Amino acid sequence: MSRTSARTKARAAARLAAVQALYQHEMEGTAIPALLHEFHHHRIGATIEDVEYAEADVMFFDDLVKGAAARLAEVDRLIEEKLTASWTLTRLDKPMKAILRAGTYELLARRDVPVGAVISEYVDVAHAFYEKRETGFVNGLLDAIARDARAKG
């Protein structure tokens, strides 16, 4: 496997783990430092109930989780601005919120990652939880958010 391919897989695993951590944070209120510790020592690269979790770019994972949590109000505002008037953030289920929060944070803070890569990766993450309709929703919403987030320079 090439170095670029390994990095791409490690970042994809970091994104999926970040979504899972943000979901757990919302569901259980687990403090971010405790979540990071749990994922570092018990999830990333582990085998749990016959499911093998891929090795992740831990620094990238940490940035996504800590950054999305630290900038939650800003991230949620950007998401809500792109939802229709009849559809609020509170109506979204928790896995969808976690996907959109991680993706929005990455679009805001990780200018080293191309917009297309961010959107494509979170659409892939959405496929782990949802059908085509919802993955299209992730694609469209993150695309709209990207136009604003990346335009702000």
For the segment 89-111, what is each residue's pLDDT rounded down to a tens digit?
A: 889 999 999 999 999 999 999 99
Q: Which residue has the higher pLDDT, 69 or 7?
A: 69
* Rounded Cα gap, residues 73 and 79, in angstroms: 10
pLDDT at 47: 55
Q: Residue 42, Cβ neighbours under 10 Å: how many?
A: 11
Give, as one character, the DSSP assignment of residue 70.
Answer: H
**Confidence class for position 3, pLDDT limits 50, 70, 90:** low
**41 pLDDT tier (thresholds 50, 70, 90):** confident
Give the model's pLDDT for residue 56.
Answer: 85
pLDDT attached to residue 31: 93
Element (H, E) at 52: strand 51-52
Within 13 A of 52's CA, how many CA atoms are on the CB side?
2
